[in-house]
Structure 1
Amino acid sequence: MSFIAHIRASDGQKQTVEEHLLEVKRLAEISGEKFGAKHLAGLAGLLHDFGKCTHQFKEYILEAFNNPEAPPKRGSVDHSTAGGKLLYELYHNRTDNPYLIILAEIVGNVIISHHSYLQDFLAPTLESPYLRRVRDKELDDFHRAQQYFFEYVMNRNDFDVYVSEAAMELENFLQETPPENHAEQLMFLTKFIFSALIDADRTDARLFEENTLYNSKNNGLLFKTYYERLMGKLNSFKNESLASHPINILRSEMSEQCERFAIKPSGIYTLSIPTGGGKTLASLRYALKHSLEYSKDRIVFVVPFTTIIEQNAAEARKVLQDEMNILEHHSNVIDDGVDDEAQDGIVNMRQKWKLAKDTWDAPIIFTTMVQFLNAFYAKGSRNIRRLHNLSNSVIIFDEVQKVPVKCVSLFNQALNYLKYSTDSSIVLCTATQPALDFVEHKLKIGSDAEMIDQLNEVIEAFKRVEIIDKATNGPINNEQLVDFIGQLMGGIQSILVILNTKSVVKDLYQKLIAQGTDYEIFHLSTSMCAAHRNDIFKKIRDCLGNNQKIICISTQLIEAGVDVSFDSVIRSLAGLDSIAQAAGRCNRHGEKEIGTVYVIDHEQERLDRLEEIKKGKEVAKKILVDLKRHPSVYGGHLLSREAMERYFQEYYTDMETNLNYFIPKLEKEMIELLTSHRRGNSSLAKAYQSKHGSLPPLYLINSYYSAAEHFEVIDDMTTAVLVPYKEGEELIAALNSYAGSFEDVTKFLRKAQQYSINLYKHEFEYLAQDGGLVSFLDGQIFALTEGAYHGEFGFNLENDSEFGFQYF
């Protein structure tokens, strides 16, 4: 008798448990092999739905299919515990082989968690959700399911051999790791195995639903084509009229150095090209060359702001002449919460949308720091599903200095693991390298990691602006700033003003408009969707190109990676890295001999909830005071390497208590929750021993679920919503009658990223009560009404915008 894993909604075709387990095993092996865990991942795949080998589950799935309007309660038949329980019973008491004990814990946890998230081995409450499932829970028909599995899926001898191979992988892994790092490394290994299983399981479910076969991808030929197209573009620059300009000569030299560096083995490297030095194409050149040299699977660009993604991805598509294989992933249009894929074995429309989400299997990916950190640490199986695709990749961190302070230690540990255990190559790309090797949990980076030779000379050669300190003269307000801007505009054509908060940006813009000038005045903030901002950027570039008088008032979204060049920049005091990025929007291409960047202290900005900006401002002001008193310190320049190194060391020292992601509710640092084991100096182990008189009966006591439940890269959780701007209106209208294919869903989601914004919780709740939101797909997707989006300012909390938009 065959048991059923899935039933296809379209034609009622049944997939047997044997078919599903063996195929998920095969797919998980493909992923696991890339990070040295082929059999560990395969074992998870082989046993993950072992609990479906019961008559109880068969009756459940048939009832769910035959009565879709009144199905049995979802999850009422537990099929995910059995595989973990089998490993626990067979191997957890094997005192002759400790690797089998650890294997049973790691793979068993992965299996029991594959419809939620990794369970706590030991929770902060000193209970063990893991043991509650695999040791204490009684399962009907467990032994008959075990008998069926060994008779029809894999015989016992072959199974024991396979488990031995998996245990050998684990032994090799730990022997290559210093003992003091075992807990940390096992944490990451567990997450990568979990990721491989989740992706294999969901992929097989999708392929069965689509009635198609799995096609493996080899991006080698594609990367070769990309490299040739990129080199063709770079060579074409040599024939342009400005090729002999000093700035362009320097850019070409930087690019060539990246090419030569690409032959070095995979590792963690820095690319410290000064702002405006062409690091996007230079880093892409390195990545493509290195991928060809070392057969990498994909190239991932990780950036702090969506505006950088939008510009850099567009540039990559244009240069590489490919619209299909370059993925932007920066906004979740569908809720990322509970992943209920195929708990009942039937894929419905709601689940289709979840299955169609991007999994980072594209050859080139542009994503955000938030998404990168979420893949490692956030709850929900969809986030971690992407993680294994970071193996054997080139990962470029653009503007790496923007790593959130509370995530610095977690970020460093993730990169160290990627380097040493997944054969990935890491590039930290910024003009202002943060001191990530200065903190307690250091980034393990070598002394010869910099790609650019004679960096001090390069920085001096790239100097295009003069920094003028007005901040130490005292604070100013928007009324005074309007007067100052007016004075400056008498002698120049363009000014960019960057302030720290959206409210003062909007207020300054409105004051300048009310003053009545013949200048073009633009407003930019993250209240606008990407498509809206891109329309404004186009207008700004047109005005700059035509040498029109122009003023742009913006939040910091414009200061990193946006290719615009103003005669002068006014920057509200913030961290030195922010000032350096703002300076990169002034005289960017060396159009003038020297540009001017004014640093001011804005008295109307409220930074109490923006601790990192506030602290950066305080440290930067100290360095400005030092320079005012002693003009020769730090090489006599605010943005010198010496000043930047001093800035980050003092900044991280001041923020030291914040670096390890402290969780107030649990009164613990996240690193302790993730890297505890019973033999370590863990407060959890000590507390358990004090309460029970003995150490926990486990090797690992990590609190995976508790850590993930409290992890947020951004303190205020946000929800992505579609906005009725241009094509966004069409997308919202299409949701009312959607009934398309997986391919259509994927295209929709990718397009929707350009027409969505993120709302904070209080904003979302206010609009929901005020009628400013509509929901689709059973509350999976939300959209703003017309009144809640303004054609000039974007999101409008008051929900009273006039009908129609001032489309550009």
Structure 2
Amino acid sequence: MSQEIYAHSGTPGHLADWQTLAAHQAGAAALAAPRAAVFGLSQAARLAAALHDFGKHDPAFQRRLLGAPDRVDHSTAGAALVLGRAKGAERVAAELLAYAILGHHAGLPDVMGSDSSMERRLDLFKDPIPPAITAATPVDFAPLLPEIMAKLRGKETAAFDLSVAGRMIFSCLVDADFRDTEAYYDRLEARQKDRDWPALPDLLPRLRADFDAHMARFPAETDLNRLRAEVLAQIRSKAALPPGLFTLTVPTGGGKTLASLGFALDHAALHGHRRIIYAIPYTSIIDQTAATFRELCGDIVLEHHSAIDSEHPGQQGRDKARLAMEDWAAPLVVTTNVQLFESLFAARPSRCRKLHNIAGSVIVLDEAQSLPRDLLLPTLRMIDILAARYGCSVVLCTATQPAFDSRQLKQGGLPLEGRELAPDPVGLASRLRRARIVKGGAMEDAALIAALRDTPQGMVIVNSRRHALELFQAVQAEGLAGAVHLTTRQYPSHRRRILADIRAGLKAGTPCRLIATSLIEAGVDVDFPKGWRAETGLDSIVQTAGRVNREGKRPLEDSTLTVFEAPGQPVPRSLQPLIAAMRSTAARFDDLLSPEAIRDWFEQVYWTRGPERMGQPMVDAFVFGKDIGAGHTNFPYRSTAEAYRMIESLMVPVIIAIEPEAEAAVARLGVADIPSGLIARQLQPFTVQVPEKARSLLVQNGHARFEAPHLRGDQFCVLATHTLYHQDTGLRWENAEYLAADQTMI
């Protein structure tokens, strides 16, 4: 056997084209350091990358490269090396590197508690590396300590701050490892991948000019458009403020989506941010936001969410957009809160490799009030450290600003005083007032139907898909004209057509009686004369009110949203405390649309939950020894990743290929040369998210199938029984185990 040590095998029996370990570690280190330089951890990332494959010096690993069947742990040796060399204050730096090195394939570990933990792996480790190699390997902690200590903000947050530094080092390491390995095999196999995106700073002069031209096309002939222009100008005027945390409080219809993009472009130009990340809580509206941004900005927009995910095991494609999903290298990323925050708390290398590219970004959190309350405190802690130590500006953008300010949220709040971008939010709320909220008391379905009978154009929003479906069918049975059902059971392209028909009908004055769930509340541009909303949290009620008299063309006194109690309809447990807080606020405030009432409601909600039920234990789980110099971290990375789930029940996509465009895309799945990522984006408008168990039943009973599994694995599940999809109510997956194809008609 050659005396050369190899990292990756090439042509069998032809060692000349194999990648040496020295070349790979040097290449990874050279890639990792500049990735971390943006936030001041370049020396830590360089050393982690230089030592991550130290275990490949093991003769057993070299034999494996030559064809031996035994699995070899090559990650623990590097961790043992850095921990063994650390003395005194160096220990904390060594532990951060050890987490990253141990996890560069298997994922960030916990310190203790399982066979994959750091403690267990080190206890079982028997050093196989020749002593001469270990002795000749330098480990210099001196440059690392100032970098790492600079990430600490104070005693109270020190452990969490250190854990985030560890995440960022890990991100740089795994991205550099992937990229160097990929480049080696690309050269070996004469492949080329298009990973290059233009840099945001180079694009900003054009983007800002295009934005100005787009906004200039809006006519200034209405009071509302003049007010929107005034709001936009005021918000953009504050782009010169120092980077950090911001709030943007603009009532629904005030143009906050475009205003926040204008601010982000200007702010990035003035402060050198590397990209803009726009995070949205709802997949139901992300595609329309991405389409708006593409219209403005062109093909520099990366859309990444659960329906277009790069992590499905069957995905073969390596197109540019899919590659960018791995590391978010695009200048403008439109994503979901789930993708953004679950990645920031993840342990898997595939989720974490994008983290270093989040640093130095302008992050707009649209509908910020939708951040999940049971994860609120760790989420706010992460937002705070990104702004304080990783060069991010974070904009909390909403019509109903939650009480995230440390003056209201005493434990874990954010320093938001003086950081509001909108001009006079209280006065703005009054000037943009276009509807009234009234109390309707108890209203059964019969009363709602009677109200709709007297209202040719009206909407009713309820709290469950079951209630919405029952009410819609009852409205149909009464023969009321213009009955429309909107549900997440309909695929996005179908929903867009329904919404277009709704808007056209409302504009033409034809009957339109909409029955829906909360998906109508945020980001959906409709303008009803009147509406009814089942009791829920005040934030949702205010959002629904924004769909009444949206354009301000009707008298305020006639534009009402009636909030009602729905007797006989079970209230989801998660809504019960929100409704109780809403009733309490309503008893003390006549105007539920006032900023004071909204603030009161949020404060009640957070106070009654308490820190324990807002994720504080997840923050407190990150600890280290009383003496910082002693190191001894206890970071439960893997356990936290498992616990930090914004969506508890796993939803998976089913493709509804009943339109020619979708049918053609499904047919392309059988062509091996077409990247999966490209087809996934083409099919995204034709997918419905369903519970994982429901999809399994559909497949088991022949109502759905995985298309081209020999090429695509189990990524593309296509509905086979088209009669399960109904134009008015969407996909009906219940009782799939009992239904044959001829039994599915309503």
State the TM-score, normalizing by the size of structure 1. Answer: 0.83
* 1:638 has 2:592 as partner: yes
Give structure 1 stretches of 5+ with no counterpart. 65-71, 151-155, 341-347, 627-633, 663-668, 682-695
Which residue does the alignment assign to 2:119?
131
User: CA shift at 1:404, angstroms?
Assistant: 0.8
User: CA shift at 1:351, angstroms?
Assistant: 9.8
User: CA shift at 1:217, angstroms?
Assistant: 4.8
Which residue does the alignment assign to 2:721?
786
* 1:225 has 2:189 as partner: no
The count of residues paired between Structure 1 and Structure 2 equals: 722
- Structure 2: how far apart are the matches of 1:463 and 1:641? 12
Which residue does the alignment assign to 1:716?
649
Which residue does the alignment assign to 1:687?
none
User: CA shift at 1:768, angstroms?
Assistant: 4.2
User: CA shift at 1:279, angstroms?
Assistant: 0.4
Q: Do the aligned residues in 2 keep the contact of 1:336 with 1:382 (CA within 8 Å)?
A: yes
Q: Do the aligned residues in 1 keep the contact of 2:662 with 2:686 (CA within 8 Å)?
A: yes
- Structure 1: how far apart are the matches of 2:603 and 2:13? 63
- Structure 2: how far apart are the matches of 1:142 and 1:725? 63
After superposition, the C-alpha distances for 1:717-736 in whole angstroms (9 at most, x for unaligned) are 3333433343444444433x
SS at match of 2:652: strand
Q: Do the aligned residues in 2 keep the contact of 1:311 with 1:562 (CA within 8 Å)?
A: no
* 1:500 has 2:488 as partner: no
- Structure 1: how far apart are the matches of 2:252 and 2:322? 39
SS at match of 1:468: strand
Which residue does the alignment assign to 2:684?
753
User: CA shift at 1:756, angstroms?
Assistant: 2.7
- Deviant stretches of 4+, over 6 Å: 8-12, 350-356, 801-806
User: CA shift at 1:333, angstroms?
Assistant: 5.4
SS at match of 1:571: strand
Amino acid corresponding to residue 671 of structure 1 in structure 2: V
* 1:672 has 2:616 as partner: no
Which residue does the alignment assign to 2:111?
121
User: CA shift at 1:503, angstroms?
Assistant: 0.7
- Structure 2: how far apart are the matches of 1:83 and 1:297? 32
Which residue does the alignment assign to 2:586?
624
Q: Do the aligned residues in 1 keep the contact of 2:197 with 2:300 (CA within 8 Å)?
A: no
- Structure 1: how far apart are the matches of 2:10 and 2:285? 41
Which residue does the alignment assign to 1:32?
36
User: CA shift at 1:78, angstroms?
Assistant: 1.3
- Structure 2: how far apart are the matches of 1:250 and 1:26? 51
After superposition, the C-alpha distances for 1:404-438 in whole angstroms (9 at most, x for unaligned) are 11011011101111111101001111111111133
After superposition, the C-alpha distances for 1:494-548 in whole angstroms (9 at most, x for unaligned) are 212211111111111112222224x332211122222222222222223233332
Alignment of 1:336-735 (within 5 A): 336=311, 349=316, 357-437=325-405, 438-470=408-440, 473=441, 475-489=442-456, 494-517=457-480, 519-594=481-556, 595-608=559-572, 610-611=573-574, 613-626=575-588, 634=589, 636-656=590-610, 659-661=613-615, 669-673=617-621, 675-679=622-626, 699-726=632-659, 727-735=661-669
Aligned-residue CA RMSD (Å): 3.1
Q: Do the aligned residues in 2 keep the contact of 1:789 with 1:801 (CA within 8 Å)?
A: no
Which residue does the alignment assign to 2:303?
328
CA distance 1:61–1:525, shift in 2 (3 Å): farther
After superposition, the C-alpha distances for 1:150-180 in whole angstroms (9 at most, x for unaligned) are 5xxxxx5xx445x422233123334xx2123
Give structure 2 stretches of 5+ with no counterpart. none
CA distance 1:720–1:46, shift in 2 (3 Å): farther
State the TM-score, normalizing by the size of structure 2. Answer: 0.90
User: CA shift at 1:355, angstroms?
Assistant: 6.3
SS at match of 1:164: coil
- Structure 2: how far apart are the matches of 1:538 and 1:62? 62
Q: Do the aligned residues in 2 keep the contact of 1:206 with 1:355 (CA within 8 Å)?
A: no
User: CA shift at 1:18, angstroms?
Assistant: 2.5
SS at match of 1:553: strand
Alignment partner for residue 20 of structure 2, among 16, 21, 33?
A: 16
CA distance 1:452–1:380, shift in 2 (3 Å): same
SS at match of 1:586: coil
- Structure 1: how far apart are the matches of 2:150 and 2:309? 40
After superposition, the C-alpha distances for 1:239-277 in whole angstroms (9 at most, x for unaligned) are x2xx13111111011100111110011011111011100
Q: Do the aligned residues in 2 keep the contact of 1:333 with 1:756 (CA within 8 Å)?
A: no
Compare 593-602 and 537-546 and name the one that shifted more. Answer: 537-546
Which residue does the alignment assign to 2:257?
280
SS at match of 1:600: strand
- Structure 2: how far apart are the matches of 1:130 and 1:139? 15
CA distance 1:407–1:24, shift in 2 (3 Å): same
Which residue does the alignment assign to 1:170?
148
Amino acid corresponding to residue 642 of structure 1 in structure 2: E
- Structure 1: how far apart are the matches of 2:513 and 2:100? 55
Amino acid corresponding to residue 432 of structure 2 in structure 1: F
User: CA shift at 1:128, angstroms?
Assistant: 8.7
CA distance 1:792–1:637, shift in 2 (3 Å): same
- Structure 2: how far apart are the matches of 1:335 and 1:281? 28
SS at match of 1:192: helix
Amino acid corresponding to residue 26 of structure 1 in structure 2: A
* 1:5 has 2:7 as partner: yes
Q: Do the aligned residues in 1 keep the contact of 2:521 with 2:544 (CA within 8 Å)?
A: yes
Alignment partner for residue 303 of structure 1, among 267, 270, 280?
A: 280
CA distance 1:8–1:398, shift in 2 (3 Å): farther
CA distance 1:516–1:398, shift in 2 (3 Å): same
Amino acid corresponding to residue 331 of structure 1 in structure 2: S
Alignment of 1:28-67 (within 5 A): 28-63=32-67
User: CA shift at 1:601, angstroms?
Assistant: 1.4
* 1:252 has 2:229 as partner: yes
CA distance 1:464–1:401, shift in 2 (3 Å): same
CA distance 1:805–1:368, shift in 2 (3 Å): farther
Q: Do the aligned residues in 1 keep the contact of 2:652 with 2:690 (CA within 8 Å)?
A: yes
Compare 537-546 and 764-773 and name the one that shifted more. Answer: 764-773
- Structure 1: how far apart are the matches of 2:718 and 2:368? 32
Q: Do the aligned residues in 2 keep the contact of 1:88 with 1:135 (CA within 8 Å)?
A: no
- Structure 2: how far apart are the matches of 1:51 and 1:570? 65
SS at match of 1:714: coil
- Structure 1: how far apart are the matches of 2:534 and 2:213? 41
Q: Do the aligned residues in 1 keep the contact of 2:318 with 2:677 (CA within 8 Å)?
A: no
CA distance 1:746–1:761, shift in 2 (3 Å): closer
Amino acid corresponding to residue 294 of structure 2 in structure 1: R
Compare 613-622 and 403-412 and name the one that shifted more. Answer: 613-622
Amino acid corresponding to residue 150 of structure 2 in structure 1: N
User: CA shift at 1:358, angstroms?
Assistant: 4.1
- Structure 2: how far apart are the matches of 1:750 and 1:263? 37
Compare 259-268 and 525-534 and name the one that shifted more. Answer: 525-534
After superposition, the C-alpha distances for 1:455-497 in whole angstroms (9 at most, x for unaligned) are 2221111111122210xx2x222232112111222xxxx2122
Amino acid corresponding to residue 56 of structure 2 in structure 1: K
- Structure 2: how far apart are the matches of 1:142 and 1:180? 43
- Structure 1: how far apart are the matches of 2:684 and 2:306? 6
Amino acid corresponding to residue 84 of structure 1 in structure 2: A
After superposition, the C-alpha distances for 1:1-51 in whole angstroms (9 at most, x for unaligned) are 443333569999533323322222222212211221111112222122222
After superposition, the C-alpha distances for 1:373-397 in whole angstroms (9 at most, x for unaligned) are 2012234322222222210100011
CA distance 1:79–1:722, shift in 2 (3 Å): farther
- Structure 2: how far apart are the matches of 1:749 and 1:358? 15
Alignment partner for residue 109 of structure 1, among 99, 103, 128?
A: 99
